[in-house]
Amino acid sequence: MFCSYCGKELAPHAVVCTGCGAASPSAPSAPGTVPAAPAAGPQTRSRLGAGLLGIFLGSLGVHRFYLGFTGIGLAQLLLTVLSPLTCGLTWLIAAAWGFIEGILVLVGVIDRDAQGELLRD
């Protein structure tokens, strides 16, 4: 085993490197040096944010991606991508679809994200 800082060979059960003083990889972490666990609080999504995204960017499915409904978002995005082939007809469908969903989010008909978490106000 070698020190990861200076490369000096370490004794099998060395706690610190004799070359540079760095803690050996095999040494148990001292109390207080354990990396903090990532914050596990629920990441609730904003109802206003999702609603406005739907109204203004609904044809791109942005509000659906924001809420975690990736499949529906991709479908809406695809309709917009295909619009040059349909004289804009599919864009109109996607835009109306997203706009209506944006309204539904704002009035609370759609009130949960893809993880089933209630949207925050």
Binding site for Zn ion (CB under 5 A): 3, 5-6, 8, 17, 19-20, 22
Nearer to Zn ion, 3 or 57 (CB): 3
In 25-54, which positions are buried (b, 16+ CB within 10 angstroms) versus exposed (e)? eeeeeeeeeeeeeeeeeeeebebeebbbbb
Smallest distance from the beta carbon of 4 to Zn ion, in angstroms? 8
Q: Considering beta carbons, is residue 12 or 41 the nearer one to Zn ion?
A: 12
Taking the least distance from each CB to Zn ion, the nearer of 19 and 49 is 19
**Minimum CB distance to Zn ion, residue 101 (Å):** 58
- When the beta carbons of 28 and 42 are compared against Zn ion, the nearer one is 28
Shortest approach of Zn ion to residue 66 CB, angstroms? 47
- Residue 116 Cβ, how far from Zn ion at the closest point, in Å? 50
